[in-house]
Amino acid sequence: MSYAYQNLFSWSWSCQSRLTHLLFLLLGFLCYFAPPTGVSAEICRVTGGVLGIHWSSVVGLGWRPLAVGRNSASCWESCCLEPACSAVWSLGGRCVLLSCSNRGLCQVTSLPQPHIESLGLLQQLSKSTTTARRRRQRRAPTGKGSGSDQLSSTRVSKDAERPAPTVGLTSGVTFPQTSDKNHSQLTNGSGEAPSPSQQNSTSEDTGDTASSNSSSVLPTTAPTITTSPTQAVRELVVSAGKSVEVTLPRNEVELNAFVVPAPQPGTDYAFDWLLRTHPKDYSGEMEGKHSKTLKLSKLTVGLYEFEVTVDGEGAHGEGFVHVTVKPEPRINKLPVAVVSPKFQEISLPTSSTVIDGSQSTDDDKVVAWHWEEVKGPLREEKVSADTQILTLTGLVPGNYTFSLTVTDSDGAQSSTQATLSVSKAMDYRPVANAGPNQVITLPRNVVTLHGNQSADDHEPLSYEWSLSPESKGKVVEMQGVRTPTLQLSAMQEGDYTFQLTVTDTAGQQDTTQVTVIVQPENNKPPVADPGPEKELTLPVDRTTLDGSKSTDDQNISTYHWKQSKGPDGVKIENADGAVATVTGLQVGEYEFSLTVTDERDLASTETVTVIVREELDQPPVAHVQSRPAISLPLRTAALDGSHSTDDKGGVGYLWTRDDSSPAAGDVLNNSDHQAVLFLTNLVEGKYSFTLTVTDSKGQSSSDRGTVEVKPDVWQRDLVELVLEVSVSQVSHRQRDMLLRQVGVLLGVLDSDIIVREVSAFNEHSTRLVFLVSGGPGRPPLSGHSVALGLRNKLRKQKNDFLIFKARRVDTVICQLNCSSHGDCDSFTRTCVCHPFWMENFIKAQLWDQESNCEWSVLYVTIASFMIVVVIATVVWGMVCCYRRRRGKVRHKSKSRYKMLNGEEQEGLELHPPRAE
């Protein structure tokens, strides 16, 4: 909003007064005689004000005048009683009621500071939607020299009828700035701008609520409209103190009211406390509502706003105070670490399991979980993780103790432990089962023997059928002698004994025998079999009669059903068939007869009883459909229990894993409470689940389903490539590029490389498991040869050929033969040699770099001793030779001298040198 400080009125006050005098006389008469309905002054609020605004600026902002008056003790009250009035403009005793011609443009904004050149005060008002009927005012006689003028006189509330003391203003005195009124000012007193002295003397900061009212009156001028005078009311300054804050469990507060000025001697003020705002669940108590001190008790959490009204003889004042009740501070409690299960026991080949710590609790929140391996077998790395659920893989036999430490949001910690026992796998002998003995009658000479009921704790099994020695010489054709099913044909009359031998992977065997008796041809009457007795419950009024189990030594030619007993009205459909349908049954007992005839007209008749009862609530029937076994790497399966039935329908499902099932494997999407159970992350083994169906009355039924997971057929050909890169950073395009590079190194097409798994080896490494196809109709290439060839290629290429650095290349299953003198450790991928054998470190370090057990400790010891003896002998011989040569040299170089006597000297001849 713009403010005009330089412009003055374009017309003089005298001219303006003459022009507006007649207009406001007419408006005054209309307001006096008309009985309009308006807004009560009690629900009218001053919402904002602007100081130092010129009249031309007021008109330019979109306001238009409604009425003009002088000496209005409550200018804004007159506006409140005028329905079309929404603002007032005052200056030097003049009061102009304003109406907005365009609500989007008429605005009132407070100035940042008072202006010396203020020319007027513009105040905007807001009115409540609640209206009150205004009564017609009676004109009071106007005395000569009366100095009060009102735009309209209306009976309003006691607050609106109290004018503030008159303050005389001269023409040139500026108004102090008026800011927006808060809630306490809006419900209290005049909307006129107070003088500086009034503001300083009545304003008291209570923190949240203003406790004073700002009011002033305009100086009196010549009367324009005759009104009745009102009694002046003194303004009291009331304070209820600063805002109060308490914290539970303290829920009591005392509030004291202070009044300025103090009451006259012999008189006292009347106090009235009123609760303006409070929390929704407020249930507190107030004591002393009409006294100076208000006592509050049983306070609840929230914000309370109280108003105190003080009345005296010709005096009135109001004050406000806030009371804030805060909740009781929380006392932190230690978290409770919970592991599930506390103890578990697994047996190899199951080498992985999980321990759940997500059930740990805290009074606020658990923010951190930390697992540590406290005790366990000696391994390369100890287990350490910061997850809610600890996943353990690659376990070796032994006892483990793991510690879980949980930390809450306040840093408090708590610990607990879980134990795990891993035992070695047991391998028992297989059990051969060739099925029951069978009897056939000629001319039928074909029979099938089934040995698939043979069992072993570690499948697969190999089968071998043979004719037992006591049946040698019998004529028979045998097909599938190395399969679980043996097809026999061309049999003759007599007894045949067959022998089944099963062998497991460890070479353990078991043998059993089965006898097939072939009887001579003999035509006998057929045997009718109408099926078992049936009971039906209404509203089921139909059933099926099944005679297909009727037998004959040759062949049954005809069937015929008829009713022999029971109520009438029954209809038999397909009465000349093996299976007939009976409809129209009622409550009672029925009997139906079945007559069967063979090709030689021999007949047999049997009856079946059908009992129809009134409707009863039967328990549900659980049924789990069997499913074939799956083989790794497929790790997902489903068990279907949707064929479970109930006579009423609407059953609940619950799948429970048997204790003998492997612990690995997850249930998807809470399907253990649905008709179909979906499983994932399965491992090798046999999973058994029990389905319990429950109807609406709590009756239940159970059935068991199994999922058999067989090992990977090509697991010995799987190659493991560990790359030095996080698995989250490997894209699908980079994976395809890596496969092409591996194919180049191995000399195969990248389409021949079949990827089985891409997973995280650890936090900073990726594990790629693949096999190399040998071509259409051929088994894959040997995993050991592929791993060895790839390792040699990478060594020659200095490991820079692949897009990611390879840390290790090996088969998934350790296949080192260890020179037939040791066992391969699947964890370290090295040979553990048998006693008295050791590794040929020369070959392992310099040649193929594979662990081995080629050297015998005894031979190495003897060879080492012989080498030491030879070296010592050679050294000793060299030392002896050296000493001997040194002694000869000394002996040759030594000279001996002696004194010659006379005779020897004379006998000494000098010989001349010999001529050469």
What's the pLDDT score for residue 807?
86
**Residue 442 clears pLDDT 50, i.e. is over it:** yes
Least confident span in 643-657, 717-731, 757-771: 643-657
Half-sphere exposure of 736 (CA within 13 A, CB side): 3
Higher-confidence residue: 493 or 164?
Answer: 493
**Residue 893 clears pLDDT 70, i.e. is over it:** no
**Residue 1 clears pLDDT 50, i.e. is over it:** no
**Residue 459 clears pLDDT 50, i.e. is over it:** yes
- The pLDDT-based confidence of 210 (bands split at 50, 70, 90) is very low
Instruction: Please state the rounded mean pLDDT for residues 69-96.
Output: 69
Q: Which CATH number fits domain 237-326: 3.40.50.720, 1.10.510.10, 2.60.40.10, 3.60.150.10?
A: 2.60.40.10
**Alpha-carbon gap, residue 526 to 595, rounded angstroms:** 10
Least confident span in 13-27, 189-203, 425-439, 602-616: 189-203
Q: Name the residue with tokens 């093996």.
A: 578
Distances (CA, A) of 84 to 47, 87, 97, 133, 227: 17, 10, 9, 15, 21
- The pLDDT-based confidence of 313 (bands split at 50, 70, 90) is confident
What's the pLDDT score for residue 124?
64
Residue 132 tokens read as 């009150």
* pLDDT tens digits, one per residue of 102-121: 655 565 654 444 443 345 66
What's the pLDDT score for residue 163?
34
* pLDDT tens digits, one per residue of 141-154: 333 333 333 333 33
CATH architecture designation of domain 715-813: 2-Layer Sandwich (3.30)
* pLDDT tens digits, one per residue of 814-826: 877 787 788 887 7
Higher-confidence residue: 304 or 651?
Answer: 304
Burial class (CB in 10 A: 0-12, 13-18, 19+), 295: middle
**Alpha-carbon gap, residue 48 to 86, rounded angstroms:** 11
Tell me if 621 sits within 8 A of 694, measured CB to CB: no
- The pLDDT-based confidence of 79 (bands split at 50, 70, 90) is confident
**Residue 785 clears pLDDT 60, i.e. is over it:** yes
- The pLDDT-based confidence of 905 (bands split at 50, 70, 90) is low
List, in order, residues 6 or more apart from 56 with CB less than 8 Å away: 4, 7, 9, 10
**Could you tell me the sign of the dihedral formed by the alpha carbons of 808, 814, 818, 819, in that order?**
negative
β-pair partners for 464: 501
What's the pLDDT score for residue 39?
38
**Residue 657 clears pLDDT 80, i.e. is over it:** yes
Instruction: Please state the rounded mean pLDDT for residues 799-820.
Output: 81
Distances (CA, A) of 257 to 16, 237, 240, 246, 267: 49, 10, 4, 19, 17
- The pLDDT-based confidence of 363 (bands split at 50, 70, 90) is confident
Length of the chain: 916
> Other C-beta atoms within 10 Å of 774: how many?
14
Tell me if 653 sits within 8 A of 645, measured CB to CB: no
**Alpha-carbon gap, residue 77 to 189, rounded angstroms:** 10
Q: What share of the chain is helix, strand, coil (3-state, %, to 5)?
A: 15, 35, 50
What's the pLDDT score for residue 226?
40
**Alpha-carbon gap, residue 482 to 465, rounded angstroms:** 6
**Alpha-carbon gap, residue 456 to 503, rounded angstroms:** 9
Percent of the chain with pLDDT over 90: 28
What's the pLDDT score for residue 909?
52
Q: Where are the alpha helices (DSSP H) in 354-482?
A: none
Q: State the DSSP code for 902.
A: H
Instruction: Please state the rounded mean pLDDT for residues 61-78.
Output: 62
Could you tell me where in the chain the CATH 2.60.40.10 domains are found? 237-326, 343-423, 438-519, 534-613, 630-710
The angle that helices 732-746 and 783-796 make with each other, rounded to 10 degrees, is: 90
What's the pLDDT score for residue 821?
80
**Alpha-carbon gap, residue 305 to 295, rounded angstroms:** 14
**Element spanning 38, H or E:** strand 37-38
Higher-confidence residue: 15 or 127?
Answer: 127
β-pair partners for 356: 340, 389
Higher-confidence residue: 691 or 25?
Answer: 691
Question: What is the four-CA torsion angle of 23, 24, 26, 27, rounded to 10 degrees?
Answer: 120
Mean residue pLDDT of the chain comes to 76
Phi/psi of residue 792, each to 5°? -65, -40
What's the pLDDT score for residue 113?
41
**CATH code of domain 630-710:** 2.60.40.10
**Residue 295 clears pLDDT 70, i.e. is over it:** yes
**Alpha-carbon gap, residue 74 to 153, rounded angstroms:** 10
**Alpha-carbon gap, residue 190 to 185, rounded angstroms:** 9
pTM equals 0.30
Burial class (CB in 10 A: 0-12, 13-18, 19+), 135: exposed
What's the pLDDT score for residue 198?
34
At the fourth CATH level, the homologous superfamily of domain 534-613 is Immunoglobulins (2.60.40.10)
Instruction: Please state the rounded mean pLDDT for residues 266-272.
Output: 88
**What is the full DSSP assignment across 122-147?**
EEEEEE-S--EEPPPPPPPPPPTT--
**Alpha-carbon gap, residue 903 to 901, rounded angstroms:** 6
What's the pLDDT score for residue 842?
77
Residue 522 tokens read as 């003999």
What's the pLDDT score for residue 203?
32
**Residue 159 clears pLDDT 70, i.e. is over it:** no
What's the pLDDT score for residue 178?
32
Name the nearest CA neighbour of 271 among 297, 231, 232, 307.
Answer: 307
**Alpha-carbon gap, residue 298 to 711, rounded angstroms:** 71
**CATH code of domain 343-423:** 2.60.40.10
Distances (CA, A) of 270 to 267, 313, 315: 10, 10, 10
Least confident span in 59-68, 431-440, 478-487: 59-68
Name the nearest CA neighbour of 210 among 307, 109, 294.
Answer: 307
Q: Where are the alpha helices (DSSP H) in 714-782?
A: 732-746
**Residue 309 clears pLDDT 90, i.e. is over it:** yes
What's the pLDDT score for residue 553?
78
Q: Which CATH number fits domain 438-519: 2.60.40.10, 1.25.40.10, 2.40.40.20, 1.10.220.150?
A: 2.60.40.10
Could you tell me where in the chain the CATH 3.30.70.3310 domains are found? 715-813
What's the pLDDT score for residue 193?
33
What's the pLDDT score for residue 211?
33
What's the pLDDT score for residue 902?
58
Highest mean pLDDT among 7-21, 209-223, 325-339, 796-810: 325-339
- The pLDDT-based confidence of 806 (bands split at 50, 70, 90) is confident
* pLDDT tens digits, one per residue of 396-433: 899 999 999 999 988 999 999 999 999 887 778 899 99
**Alpha-carbon gap, residue 721 to 798, rounded angstroms:** 16
Higher-confidence residue: 301 or 626?
Answer: 301
**Residue 201 clears pLDDT 70, i.e. is over it:** no
Residue 430 tokens read as 């297989």
What's the pLDDT score for residue 794?
84
**Alpha-carbon gap, residue 571 to 573, rounded angstroms:** 6
**Residue 868 clears pLDDT 50, i.e. is over it:** yes
**Residue 220 clears pLDDT 90, i.e. is over it:** no
> Other C-beta atoms within 10 Å of 385: how many?
18
Tell me if 312 sits within 8 A of 284, measured CB to CB: no
